[in-house]
Amino acid sequence: MIPLSLAEVARVTGGQLAGVADPAVLVTGPVVIDSREAAPGSLFAALPGTRTDGHEFAAAAVQAGAVAVLATRPVGCPALVVPDVQAALGQLARAVVDRASNLTVIGITGSAGKTTTKDLTAQLLETLGPTIAPRESFNNEIGHPLTVLRVTDQTRFLVSELAARGAGHIAQLCQIAPPRLGAVLGVGLAHAGEFGGVEAIAQAKGELVAALPADGIAVLNADDHRVAAMAARTRARVVMFGRSATADVRAERVRADEAGRPGFTLTTPAGSAPVQLRLHGEHHVTNALAAAALAAQLSMPVAAIAAGLSAAVARSRWRMEVTKLPDGVTVVNDAYNANPDSVRAAIAALATMARGRRGFAVLGPMTELGDDADRLHAEIGADAAAADLAGLIVVGDAAEPILAGARAVPGWRGVLQHVPDAAAAVGALRGRLRDGDVVLVKASHSIHLERVALALTGELPLDGDTGSRT
């Protein structure tokens, strides 16, 4: 981070120094919320956890080198006492952004694909200059400021992932690190239950472009009408990306190879170049185009963008992660999370990958869908059957409507099985899988269905799994 003295930290957070011998001591980072990650120069932010209170680890953090603790009460070691540690983290992050001399902040939001797009964008921009991007999905009121606090005076680009669970969240994240470029990927049904419907989600995602300055750039998905309509909510210049012929940055001649990896001609106002992604699933075309549009606006030549996208890898785990096993079975672990759009995208990718072979889907519940949950699960079942999968294994009670949806598709003769948990799903697959089969595993994060994929790849033993495959 850009170093700040404890006195400056107190000033920007409105905090009181407590037990600090020398207010001139510099915080150089990292700023951490886990005392085990504290190092010399650190600031430890004591947050209330669900099981423990961060304040209890203040001494351990200081022992590990933290110069002070951001806390809501004196903790017996050097501290900055503030009314709200989370808010103080945001204020501190903003102070760092304001002190950065050569920083361009890029915000990315959308219902699905934020992390993937963030990872792709970071891999492009890293070739232009020092780039900071979040670890994993550090995209909320805690993860976002922690990411921003990694900015140094050398940092040229900050690529931030912005998530919302309600109105006002993205606007708040944008205050912590005001973006000059903002990309909106799509408005889908992720967290629809919490938001109260898709229009409310569109309203919330649009806060990103509403926050952009007049000399900013709004990068909008032309293929999603709710996103395209956000052009009316921004002062910034608008750049459209998508498959539509009207998009400024678009993919032409999209095709997928036998592993479901899309290739296309990237077309921009500055020229065209061929791209062959290493990511699986045609839905990644959208993410790649958003990254391309951002990089193009930051003066990256189209040939370099195309080469960068073609070389880019999935940096975050369990998103369409493909493992080919020695016995010829291919496992697609997409169990990081699930909502109707991403399940549909994954089923489409599975169908491509399993062309001429047998495709199996292990699908668990999609959470946080509110009142429409049963109907949305049933629709997914119908999609899976319509994709002519060889088998559909449905995991858990909440996913049960998937069964009825699949059964309602006339003429589908695949195997349909309902199992209670991950171990039973592995058991159901073991006897069935054979050389050439492709298995997709997907559900919402809290179900931890990645255990099925990890059991198949041998990375994790699973209770009740006998390990035999016939």
Shorter beta-carbon distance to Mg ion: residue 268 or 337: 337
- Interface with ligand ATP (CB under 6 A), residue total 23
Shorter beta-carbon distance to Mg ion: residue 9 or 106: 106
- Residue for token pair 């967290």: 191
139 lines the binding site for ligand ATP (CB under 6 A): yes
The binder of 341, among ligand ATP, Mg ion, none, by C-beta within 5 to 8 A per type, is: ligand ATP
The binder of 358, among Mg ion, ligand ATP, none, by C-beta within 5 to 8 A per type, is: none
End-to-end CA distance of the chain: 55
122 lines the binding site for ligand ATP (CB under 6 A): no
Residue 52 per-residue DSSP state: S
Give the separation between CA 290 and CA 240, rounded to whole angstroms. Answer: 9
112 lines the binding site for ligand ATP (CB under 6 A): yes
* Binding pattern for the stretch 142-181 against ligand ATP, x by CB under 6 A and - elsewhere: ---------------------x------------------
Least separation in angstroms between residue 219's CB and ligand ATP is: 14
Question: Do residues 306 and 266 touch, judged by C-beta distance below 8 A?
Answer: yes
260 lines the binding site for ligand ATP (CB under 6 A): no
Judged by CB under 6 A, which stretch of 110-118, 203-211, 236-244, 363-371 contacts ligand ATP? 110-118
Calculate the dihedral angle through the C-alpha atoms of 121, 123, 129, 133, rounding to the nearest 10 degrees. Answer: 70
Shorter beta-carbon distance to ligand ATP: residue 4 or 343: 343
Least separation in angstroms between residue 271's CB and ligand ATP is: 25
> Tokens for 76?
């017996």
Least separation in angstroms between residue 198's CB and Mg ion is: 19
444 lines the binding site for ligand ATP (CB under 6 A): no
341 lines the binding site for ligand ATP (CB under 6 A): yes
287 lines the binding site for ligand ATP (CB under 6 A): yes
The binder of 320, among ligand ATP, Mg ion, none, by C-beta within 5 to 8 A per type, is: ligand ATP
Enumerate residues 49-68 that contact ligand ATP by CB under 6 A: none
137 lines the binding site for ligand ATP (CB under 6 A): yes
Shorter beta-carbon distance to ligand ATP: residue 78 or 113: 113
Q: Taking the CB of residue 359, how many other CB atoms lie within 10 A of it?
A: 26
Q: For residue 243, give the amino acid letter.
A: R
Shorter beta-carbon distance to ligand ATP: residue 102 or 446: 446
Three-state helix/strand/coil letters over 16-50: EEECCCCCCCEECCCEECCHHHCCCCCEEECCECC
Please state, in angstroms and as integers, the Cα–Cα distance from residue 208 to each residue in 94, 115, 148, 366, following that order.
Answer: 16, 16, 17, 26
Give the separation between CA 385 and CA 391, rounded to whole angstroms. Answer: 9
Question: Do residues 260 and 238 touch, judged by C-beta distance below 8 A?
Answer: no
> Tokens for 17?
């120094």
114 lines the binding site for ligand ATP (CB under 6 A): yes
203 lines the binding site for ligand ATP (CB under 6 A): no
- Residue for token pair 């919490």: 194
Question: Do residues 248 and 78 touch, judged by C-beta distance below 8 A?
Answer: no
Shorter beta-carbon distance to ligand ATP: residue 26 or 171: 171
Q: For Cα atoms 32, 33, 35, give the angle at the middle one, nearest 5 degrees.
A: 80
Give the separation between CA 286 and CA 264, rounded to whole angstroms. Answer: 11
The residues binding ligand ATP (CB under 6 A) are: 112-116, 137, 139, 163, 185-186, 281, 283, 286-287, 319-320, 334, 336-337, 341-342, 345-346
